[in-house]
Chain A
Amino acid sequence: MTRDQHRRLVAVYLVCCVMGTVSTAQRAQDFQRKASMLLAAEPENPKCFAEGRKAFTCFWEEDEERAGPVEQYSFTYAYQNENGSRCPLTVAPAAGGKKLFVCHLDRIQMFVQLDIQVHRESVMIHNRSLLVELVFLLDPPENVTVSSTGHQGQLNVSWVPPPLKYMDDSMIYEVMYAKEGDPAGQVEVARACSELILRGLQAATRYRVEVRVRLDGITYSGYWSAWSDPVWMETLPADLDPLIVSLTFIITFILFLLCLIVLLSHHRFFIKKVWPTIPVPDSKFQGLFTVYGGDLQEWLRQTSGGLWVTSALLYSEERPSPVEVLSELNLCRSLASPPLPPKACNASTQRDERELSNGSDSAQTDEWRATQQQHWLMERLRETRPGMGSSLLESQDTYVTLSTNNHSEEDHVDDTLEEALPLEMHVASRKTPLSEFHSDLGSGQQSSGSGRLSSQSSFEYPSQGWTPKGPGYTYMAVADSGVSMDYSPMSRVDDLGKVALYANEYKNEIPPHRRPFLTRQYHVHDDG
């Protein structure tokens, strides 16, 4: 033999020795594990188990202190109707200061009763009769693989069954699965098959899966094997249930249809709320915008005022407004605002306006004029209404007085007039256009035209007195004898566009902050 051959032989021998040592160690470890399981599961002694078609092992446990040498013990076994045989014993260490006496048989017979006796120094210590095919203790399933099935909450578990011929259809398996961190889990049973689908699992969760095997007990029987090594697997993440998604979509669509139907059936109501119609004075001022392009003066000139006056529609639509009282006539004392009956108003106002227009700026002349006017007015009043006199105050008539004013207060008047005049006044003038309230009257003073009162006007009776401002004011008193009059603030031509605004903002109420001021001065601009 050459050196190389020698070396090869030595190497092969060493490899074999190592492998043998490894396998022996592995077998010893397996036996220790199974022995510990049987020690807990089997009460009888000796404890025996079959690992396959050929291997059969029996052992019993004794304390190291009490146990004698192995030679003292004898293990004899006999099959039914056969002579007994003796099994050589070996000793294996056990946990907790104990010793195991082990008998291992390589040739076994099944489906026949086996009688076992253990003697220690001719004294029988253990006795047992069993059937070998009923004490199987198999190795756990190998190659346990866990995979996803593609469906949510499912895992597919597969394994390789123990390689035992004739016994494949007698095996039952237990698959234990638990969530990560959960010590106890759930168990599923599989019969005579090598894969199982776990259902009802939580989504996106890591699961620990273990498998063990046992024979079903009809033909073959035995103990549960040890659990296989755990395998971890995560389930698929949660997916939107298509049923829920479709139902949500359908419900949303139905709600949208319902809203649409409601909107369409009440579209006029919603349009009115969202885009309120702004009243356009076209209907009332026929031809004002279409023919005259919004030129009110021209329109007034062309159209007759009778259209306004005779149009019952106008006045039926508009409510009579409360007129702020300018004065309360005190006949006993100084006549601040002599009242005038409406019938005599036209004539008297014409005259008054003429007189007023001729008034000077001097204080004395103004005072004298005021006094003169008061007297004249009173006389006129007495003439028309002889019975009035002192009873005038007790009458329910309301009065409107107009007074001239200094320029300084003109702006204030403009503000007061334009802010929120609750009055609507229709003043028709043949000659001059009514652009401003005070200016119109002023112009009315100059011309023959004057404020012609309509046949309908109503006033609130003043409850408060009104102190005259002084001789610098001229007054035009209008007495109401049950005739209603509508006033509308006629602005300048420039401000004609605001007419619509004023019409919109027209309210039939005195603004609260102005309520205490039941009297108001309408200052007539004296253009002189």
Chain B
Amino acid sequence: PTGRMKIILRGLIALLLIVLEWTCPGLPSPPRPICDLRVLNHFIQEARDAEVAMKSCRDGCGLTELVSVPQTTVNFDDWERKNATEQAQEVQTGLWLLHQALGLLQASMTDVDLNNHIDNSIRNLLSINAVLRSLNIQEYTPPTSAVGLEGTWKVSSVAEVLQVHVNFLRGKVRLLLVGAEACQQDVS
């Protein structure tokens, strides 16, 4: 009887391990895709608030040098002609550029209220990167050495930077999220 008990016990343990392996796989599963656009809408509204706050700024709200910002222009035909990778790279490049520009603003801004807005915007940019990661979009960082990157503008005022920031989020970033494959699978 003890021999039989041992065999049965081993079988149960094996079965338990198999079941655990199914339910709790070893590798960490990818994060759940964030397809709800309300997250992005929230970021857009905060960026718009920063732009509106910037208009009331008089002193200590200027840039000392030119800043590269991504182009926000969207033509739907041209956009659809690009493939997913190109779109993702374009968006991530733009986000990187904006991150650099807002960093410069943060350093040179003396207005406390505006500094809070810029800090918020920088945090939102990092959150957008996390959202892109959840959608299985491969991370891309443009080369820092490239000076004349395509698809960039040079702006000289804080207002322009924030305006670009709003338009970029509303345009290209949103189009990328709407057209993401992970979200399309959920819909279908």
Using CB atoms and an 8 Å cutoff, list the residues of chain A in contact with chain B.
Answer: 53-54, 79-81, 107-113, 131, 133, 165-166, 169, 218-219
Contacts and interface: CB of A to CB of B under 8 A. Distances in A.
B174 A53 contact: no
A47 to B, nearest CB: 23
Given A81-B153, A166-B178, A109 B45 contact: no
Contacts of A54: 76-77
A53 B77 CA distance: 9
Given A81-B153, A112-B167, A219-B174, A107 B44 contact: no
Nearest to B174: A219
Interface string B160-172: 0001000110111
Nearest to A111: B171
A219 B76 contact: no
Contacts of A113: 163
Given A81-B153, A219-B170, A109 B41 contact: no
B90 to A, nearest CB: 13
A372 B66 CA distance: 167
Contacts of A169: 37
Given A133-B170, A218-B44, A218-B45, A109 B73 contact: yes
Contacts of B72: 111-112
Nearest to A112: B73
Interface string B165-188: 001101110110011000000000
A219 B74 contact: no
B74 A110 contact: yes
B179 to A, nearest CB: 8
B172 A111 contact: yes
B145 interface: no
B75 A109 contact: yes
Given A133-B170, A219-B170, A109 B74 contact: yes
A131 B153 CA distance: 18
Contacts, number: 50
A233 B60 CA distance: 63
A53 B153 contact: no
Contacts of B172: 111
A112 B172 CA distance: 11
Given A81-B153, A169-B37, A111 B45 contact: no
Contacts of B174: 166, 219
Given A53-B76, A111-B172, A218-B41, 6 more contacts: A81-B71, A107-B75, A108-B75, A109-B73, A111-B72, A111-B171
6 contacts: A110-B73, A111-B74, A112-B71, A112-B73, A166-B76, A219-B170
Nearest to B44: A218
Interface in B52-109: 71-77
Contacts of B168: 111
A112 B163 CA distance: 9
Contacts of B44: 218-219
Nearest to A192: B37
A113 B45 CA distance: 18
B101 to A, nearest CB: 16
Contacts of B178: 166
Contacts of B179: 166
A110 B172 CA distance: 10
B183 to A, nearest CB: 11
Contacts of B171: 110-111, 133
A111 B41 contact: no
A168 to B, nearest CB: 9
